[in-house]
Each structure stands twice: as structure tokens, then as C-alpha cells.
Amino acid sequence: MTGGSAIERWRDKMLSERMLEALNKQVNAELYSAYLYLSMGAYFESVNLKGFANWMRIQAQEELMHAMKFFDYINERGRRVKLEAIEKPPTEWNSPLDVFEATYKHEVNVTNMINNLVNMAIEEKDHATYNMLQWFVAEQVEEEASADEIRQQLKFIGEEGRGILMLDRELGQRTFTAEVTK
């Protein structure tokens, strides 16, 4: 019999321990992102910027969806998700611009994490994981651009009340669209 037993052949298709650990860390990072954006939303609620709060709530929902994509992928590859404690996010910011500076910085950090996963998949010749990660590579381009656009608008507006209120109204129009994952 060539290629070993059916169980051995099945195990060969599973994620490596190194990749599994990295993907489990990414699940945690995506859950932290949701937690961070909920905290930012709570800040905006506290300063009566409901549109900004809405934008953050939608962002949190997207991050939960991202976490579930990794969660489902790990399971599909025959491995086990191991959830860890989620770090406490910040709760105070100085201004809407301060929040979006932090948002943009966070998204750049997430992009770096995704890129590191892609590099690991290439090193391990894990074509399935590489393929799955391409969705996240494209998503991070959008995530960074979205956060940066609002950040740049806030820089242009400054602390002027009418401009902030107009942007708040615009951000209040954002809606969540759940993506079909399977």
C-alpha cells in the first residue's frame, strides 16, 4: 500500500502546527478588532456622535465575520480552534480624529499580520491556506482605504462642529451586509 493509511493521508492534508497556531492567533486578533471597534463605538455614543458610532458598530460586525472565516477554515482543514482571552481595548480618545488615527494604525497592523500569514503559507507550501488568505489581502486594502478616507476628511474638517456633524450624518448611513461564506 503506497502513501500510508487513510488516516495518515488525511493528516497530511491538515494544517501544520505552526500554521494552526498562527491562524488561531488571527482568530483572536479579529475578535480583538471587533472588541476595539465596539469600544470606539461606545466612545462615539458617549459624545453623541451616533453616525460615527454606527460606523464602528458595522466595523465590529465585519471583524466578527472575519474571525468566523478563519474559525471555519481551521475546522474545514480538520484542526481545532483554540480561543484565548481577548485583550482589553482602550476606552478613551481625545477626538474623532484621534479615534480614526488609531483605527488606521490598527488596520495597517492587521494588514501586516495577514501578510505574515501569507508568507508563512508560501514557506510551508500550503496552497489552500495561501488561496484562502487572498480574500483577506484584498479586504485589507479596502479596510485601510476606508479608515484613511475618514481620517483624511477629519484632518480637513478639523474640530469645526458643522463639518463633524455632516460627516456624522454620512457615517450613519453605513449598513452591514453579511457575506455568504459557503
Task: Tell me the per-residue pLDDT of 10-27, one tens digit each, with 9 for 90 and over.
Answer: 555 689 999 999 999 999
> Are 51 and 172 a contacting pair, CB within 8 Å?
yes
Query: pLDDT value at position 20?
Result: 97
Residue 83: how many other CB atoms lie within 10 Å:
11
pLDDT bucket at 1, cuts 50 / 70 / 90? very low
Whole-number Å distance between alpha carbons of 172 and 145? 18
Among left, alpha and beta (phi > 0; psi -120 to 50; other), residue 127 is alpha
Of all residues in the chain, the percent with pLDDT exceeding 90 is: 77
Query: pLDDT value at position 134?
Result: 97
pLDDT bucket at 182, cuts 50 / 70 / 90? low
For the chain, give the mean pLDDT.
90
Q: Is it the case that residue 60 has pLDDT exceeding 90?
A: yes
Q: Is it the case that residue 7 has pLDDT exceeding 60?
A: no
pLDDT bucket at 118, cuts 50 / 70 / 90? very high
| Environment class of 44 (CB within 10 Å of its CB; exposed 0-12, middle 13-18, buried 19+) | buried
CA dihedral 77, 82, 28, 45 (to 10 degrees): 120
Secondary structure of 82-138 in the HEC alphabet?
A: CCCCCCCCCCCCCCHHHHHHHHHHHHHHHHHHHHHHHHHHHHCCCHHHHHHHHHHHH
pLDDT bucket at 41, cuts 50 / 70 / 90? very high
pTM value is 0.87
Reading the block at residue 144, the C-alpha cell is 485601510
**Domains (range + CATH), the chain:** 14-171 (1.20.1260.10)
